[in-house]
Structures are given as structure tokens and as C-alpha cells.
């Protein structure tokens, strides 16, 4: 490999100064002298806040997660808080972390820098779920919050997600303003570190109890739970933060037969039993499924390391376990919530749900049938939290979700929450059982009533600097040469969220998109199919989402319709030439 650009070398040499610890200096020196490829990857850019905050591979460098990047990010956050809340003498930040390697160290650095800036730091005594951090911000009346996590990413990653006083992740203009403050800091010397110990407060059981009490209040059918309290449920936290909270809330909902996966109950940032701790991937549930077969469990649930995503498998009519995707899990939860609120006469006409633009439109169909509005937002729960904040005091949020295995119920948490989702999914399964249905039979009945929707995701990983360039070129190709037909159906609408314009390919009229700017393209065909292209904001990936639909009259038509939809998706993928 040729010598790195001089600016990269200069950035790296700065990390050889005594501002950095000896181990960091040794690692950077080795890259400068012997590993130019690693040097470029570590220093070619500075980590930025994306849809989920700042996330990256751990190690030395400006493009890596380490205590120095954490320190500078926190100093920038503190500078912004002090500027945004002038004269407020009791500023405070809630801080949590997951089970990843270095997460506790990063969280302690965050608390230290916060306290050094005169800001109270409420640091959880140990690992806690991301949704509990969101809850704690509002519970403790903090102005901001930070959770150290890389969610479901591989073990090499860690992250730093920033929240605002409403409990939601930062959005415009706070995100851009915080980035601006961080970018002003040119050296780690500018980071304040001499903390007043009295400003660092350990939190734990009191917040846990308040959070669990609010979760318990979400239950809609305690009687069904009691009748089916012995329903066998296998749950795994996949070495993460759900290890206490999820089994505890299941017990409080009334379920007494929660079966754990001992090998995965141990918090471990190396995630030794899985290739990736991502409940979206079947392999992550291998041990849980083995335990389910061994015990005859009816339901299998898993959460990712920071317990904000839920993976589910349910037993079918022949005793096999079928994994549900995020759209199916969300569909079942939306239907369960609205159906029971309607039957219990709790809907007053001012309720709403939220889905992201790449989540199944089936949410809309279900909500409409119960007289409930659906709002559509960009990918990321910070946008769902934004709608809740905007409508607060006028309309009531019921629930919301995205296809990537995230769901949220109620407004006391402002981020996706696998703890509440696990509890309510178990309750939904008990309710279905009480009504003579399995979970799969309930899902099939929804398809027959509202339409058979199928979704498919293709995720293409392009690592490093060259990968960023490849993803950019791929988006430019689709932007300049959108497909005219997909699977024999004309593309009738192209929506470009980057320029916030929709193009009607039939009338050639243009329409404004009333959502924030985002690098997303959508192609809508004459048969109602929706294909979305979106580079990830937190991973070196570009994702393609396919959503197709058809109508079915009865159970006999489901199998054939499913095969036809699968074939339509397969043809669309080929038409998109994603392997070229």
C-alpha cells in the first residue's frame, strides 16, 4: 500500500504526544511504522453522530472509539448544555452502559468530564438497558443523557448515544450544534478532567423500580396472563443488559415459567456464544431455540446487548419454531394493542401510532380500522420520539416501531424498548391462546383481514474508506438512473428524501416531502410494492428494503400467495442488479 496522505500522518503523530497513554502511543507508533492500511482506517476521518449517535470500532485514532474520543465528545456536549441552559446551576446528565468491552470505562469517562464541567452525572451502578436510560432522564429531570453501547454490532464496536431532556435521542438542531461544539475541540488538552466527586451520583434500584412500575402499567389483560402463567417462555439476553429486567417484568406480568439460557446469562462483551449478538440473525437464537426444543416452550424471545431490540420465535402447528421478522412482530403488537384498547373502550379518538418509512404499511391498515392515526417518520426512534414530543398534550401515543426489530409502547420511554416489547408479546401470546389461537394463527388472521404483506431486507457491507465511496456511488447510480420497471410493474413514484422531493413518473409532477433531509431513495410501483435504498447511519452498510402485498380471502390462499410474493421480491432484486 502506498504511503498515507500527509494529513493522516500528521493527525496520527499528534497521538504520539504525552497527552495520550503509553499503550495508545505504542499502538499508533506501530501503525505509523508498519501498518499504513490500519493507520488510514484509524485516522482518515473523525467519528460523527449518525441516526444512532457515534459508533465505531474500538482502538486508537480519530475514527475509533476510545476514551479520548469519548472525552472530547462529552466536552462538546457539556459546552453545548452550558450554552443552551444559561444560568442553570443544577445541570445534570444520566449515564448508562451495556456489557461491551470498555463500556464501563467509557461511561466513567463521560461522568468524569461532565462533573469536571460542573454538571451532575447520574451514573448507573452497573449495566442497564438503553430504554431505562431514556426513562431515567425524564425521571431524574436531567437535561441530557448518554448511553455507551453499540447495540447489536459485532464485539469490535462500541458507541455513544446522546439524548435530550425529553428522553429521546438528539435531533435537529441539537445534534448539529453538539457536533459543532465537538469539532471546535482540537486537542484532548481542552477536555476538563478534574471532576468534583460530589457531582457524580450512583443510581440503580430506585430507578429500576420506577421503570418496572411504569412497564407493569402497560398490561392490558392480566387475567389472561394469570390463566396462562405456566406458559413456557425461553428468554436470552445474548450476554447483554436484559439479563435482569426482562425476566423480572415477565414475572410481574404474571408469567412464572421463564426459562433462561445459562450460557448467555453472563454479561460478556466478547459475546462468546454467538457470531453477532443481533436478534435479527437466526444464528443468534441458536441456543435459545435448542433450549425451547428441549423444554417444549411455546415462545422464544431474545434481546440485543443494550436490550432495545427484540427477536422472537414461535412454535407452529407441527412443533417447529418459526422466527418472526421485525415487521411481523410489530404488526402483532400493533394489532394486539389497538384491538384490546378498542374492545375495552379506551380509545378516545385522539390516539396515534408511528412507523418508519421502511416499516410495513400494514401498520397503517390496522390503525385505520380502529380509527387511529399513523404518522410516518424517517428511520430511527429519535424521529418517533420527536412526533411524541410534537403531539404531547394534544394526541396520545399508543406505540410505534421499525422493521429492524424495535418497538416502543407508551411515552414514558422515548426509544425502542425490548423490555416492554417482551412483556407485551408474551401477554399477546397468552391472549391469543385464551381466544383459541396460536401466535401464527393470529398473524394469519391479520393477513386475511388487512392484506398479505411481505418484506425482505438485503444488507450489503462495504467496510472502510473505500466502502464509503462504493456506497456513495451506488446511491448516485440509483438517483441518476432510477429503475423504470421492477418485476414487470412500472415504477410510478420516486421519492428522494435527500432533496425532499417526490417525482410522479406518470404525470411528471413533483411534490414536497415533509420530512427532514435524509439519504434515502424509494421506488413505488403500480402494484403497490415499495423498494427503499438507505445507507446505514451507524454501520458500514447499505440496506435495500422490499415491501410487497396482495389480497387473500382465506387460509387456503395464504401458501400460494406467499410463494408468489417471494417470487416477486426475487425478481425485483435481480432487476435492481445489486450484485453489480
Just list the catalytic residues.
Answer: 151
| Cell triple for 546 | 422490499
Sign of CA dihedral 417, 422, 425, 430: negative
Torsional class of 296: left (φ above 0), alpha (ψ -120 to 50), beta (otherwise)? left
Return the closest-CA partner of residue 143 out of 97, 73, 84, 93.
93
CA-nearest of 374, 362, 430 to 398 is 374
Gap between the Cα atoms of 543 and 51, Å rounded:
14
440 touches 428 (CB < 8 A): no
For the chain, how far is it from start to end, CA to CA, in angstroms?
Answer: 26
Distance CA 302, CA 274 (A): 13
Q: What is the 3-state secondary structure (H, E, C) of 79-102?
A: HHHHHHCCCCCCCEEEEEECCCCC
Element (H, E) at 33: helix 22-34
- Going by C-alpha positions, the residue among 192, 112, 186, 185 that lies closest to residue 146 is 112
Q: Provide the CA 569 distance to its chain's centre, in angstroms.
A: 25
Cell numbers for 172: 435537529
435 contact partners, CB below 8 Å, separation of at least 6: none
H/E element holding 299?
strand 299-303
* Residues making up the chain, counted from first to last: 580
| Contact between 212 and 252 (Cβ < 8 Å) | yes
Instruction: Please give the Cα distance from 416 to 405 (Å, whole number).
Output: 9
Grid coordinates standing for 208? Answer: 429500576
- List Cβ neighbours of 385 (8 Å cut-off, separation of 6 or more): 166, 167, 168, 169, 171, 414, 415
Between helices 326-343 and 439-450, what is the axis angle to 10°?
A: 80
Q: Which residues of 129-138 are buried (b: 16+ CB within 10 A; e: fewer)?
A: bbbbbbbbbb
Cell numbers that stand for 257 in this block: 415459567
Helix (H, G, I), strand (E, B) or coil at 422: helix
Q: Residue with C-alpha cell 447511519?
A: 537
Rounded to an integer, what distance in angstroms lies between the CA atom of residue 425 and that of residue 68?
Answer: 41
Q: If you search the block for the grid coordinates 422493521, which residue do you land on?
A: 403
Q: Which distant-in-sequence residues (6+ apart) come within 8 Å of 469 by Cβ?
A: none
Residues 6+ apart with CB under 8 A from 201: 120, 121, 122, 123
Q: With contact defined as beta carbons under 8 Å apart, do 103 and 159 qualify?
A: no
Amino acid at each position: 500500500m502506498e504511503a498515507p496522505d500527509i494529513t493522516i500522518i500528521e493527525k496520527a503523530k499528534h497521538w504520539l504526544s504525552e497527552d495520550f497513554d503509553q499503550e495508545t502511543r505504542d499502538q499508533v507508533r506501530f501503525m505509523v511504522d508498519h501498518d499504513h492500511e490500519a493507520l488510514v482506517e484509524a485516522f482518515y476521518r473523525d467519528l460523527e453522530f449518525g441516526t444512532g449517535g457515534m459508533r465505531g470500532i474500538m482502538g486508537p485514532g480519530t475514527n475509533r472509539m476510545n476514551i479520548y474520543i469519548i472525552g472530547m465528545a462529552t466536552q462538546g456536549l457539556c459546552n453545548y448544555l452550558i450554552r443552551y441552559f444559561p444560568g442553570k446551576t443544577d445541570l445534570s446528565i444520566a449515564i448508562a452502559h451495556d456489557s461491551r468491552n470498555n463500556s464501563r470505562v467509557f461511561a466513567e469517562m463521560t461522568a468524569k468530564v461532565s462533573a469536571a464541567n460542573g454538571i451532575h452525572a447520574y451514573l448507573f451502578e452497573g449495566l442497564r438497558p438503553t430504554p431505562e436510560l431514556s426513562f431515567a432522564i425524564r425521571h431524574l429531570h436531567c437535561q441530557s443523557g448518554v448511553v455507551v453501547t453499540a447495540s447489536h454490532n459485532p464485539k469490535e464496536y462500541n458507541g455513544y448515544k446522546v439524548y435530550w431532556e425529553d428522553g429521546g435521542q438528539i435531533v435537529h438542531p441539537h445534534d448539529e450544534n453538539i457536533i459543532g461544539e465537538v469539532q471546535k475541540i482540537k486537542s484532548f488538552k481542552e477536555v476538563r478532567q478534574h471532576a468534583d466527586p460530589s457531582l457524580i451520583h450512583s443510581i440503580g434500584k430506585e430507578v429500576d423500580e420506577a421503570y418496572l412500575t411504569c412497564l407493569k402499567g402497560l398490561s392490558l389483560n392480566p387475567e389472561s396472563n394469570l390463566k396462562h402463567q405456566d406458559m413456557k417462555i425461553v428468554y436470552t439476553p445474548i450476554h447483554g443488559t436484559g439479563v435482569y429486567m426482562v425476566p423480572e417484568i415477565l414475572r410481574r406480568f404474571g408469567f412464572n415459567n421463564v426459562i433462561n439460557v445459562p450460557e448467555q446469562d453472563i454479561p460478556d462483551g466478547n459475546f462468546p456464544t454467538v457470531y453477532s449478538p443481533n436478534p435479527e440473525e437466526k444464528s443468534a437464537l441458536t441456543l435459545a431455540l435448542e433450549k425451547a426444543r428441549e423444554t417444549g416452550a411455546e415462545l422464544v424471545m431474545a434481546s440485543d446487548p443494550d436490550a432495545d431490540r427484540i427477536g422472537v420465535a414461535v412454535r407452529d402447528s407441527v412443533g417447529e419454531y418459526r422466527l418472526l421478522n421485525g415487521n411481523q412482530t410489530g404488526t402483532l403488537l400493533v394489532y394486539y394493542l389497538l384491538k384490546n384498547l378498542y374492545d375495552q373502550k379506551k380509545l378516545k379518538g385522539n390516539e396515534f401510532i408511528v412507523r418508519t418509512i421502511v416499516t410495513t404499511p400494514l401498520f397503517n391498515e390496522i390503525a385505520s380500522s380502529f380509527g387511529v392515526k399513523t404518522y410516518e417518520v424517517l428511520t430511527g426512534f429519535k424521529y418517533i420520539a420527536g412526533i411524541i414530543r410534537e403531539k404531547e398534550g394534544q394526541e396520545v401515543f399508543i406505540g410505534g416501531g421499525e422493521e429492524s426489530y424495535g418497538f416502543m409502547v407508551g411515552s414514558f420511554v422515548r426509544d425502542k424498548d425490548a423490555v416492554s416489547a417482551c412483556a407485551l408479546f408474551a401477554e399477546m401470546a397468552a391472549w391469543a391462546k385464551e381466544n383459541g389461537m396460536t401466535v401464527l394463527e393470529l398473524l394469519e388472521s391479520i393477513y386475511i383481514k388487512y392484506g398479505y404483506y411481505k418484506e425482505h431486507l438485503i444488507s450489503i457491507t462495504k467496510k472502510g474508506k473505500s466502502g464509503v465511496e462504493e456506497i456513495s456511488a451506488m446511491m448516485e447510480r440509483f438517483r441518476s438512473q432510477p429503475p423504470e420497471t421492477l418485476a414487470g410493474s412500472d415504477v410510478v413514484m420516486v421519492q428522494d428524501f435527500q432533496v425532499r422531493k417526490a417525482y410522479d413518473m406518470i404525470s411528471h409532477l413533483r411534490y414536497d416531502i415533509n420530512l427532514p433531509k435524509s439519504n434515502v431513495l424509494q421506488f413505488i410501483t403500480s402494484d403497490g410494492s415499495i423498494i427503499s435504498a438507505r445507507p446505514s447511519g451507524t454501520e458500514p452498510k447499505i440496506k435495500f428494503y422490499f415491501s410487497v402485498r396482495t389480497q387473500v380471502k382465506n387460509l387456503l390462499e395464504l401458501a400460494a400467495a406467499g410463494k408468489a410474493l417471494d417470487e416477486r421480491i426475487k425478481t425485483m432484486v435481480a432487476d435492481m442488479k445489486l450484485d453489480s
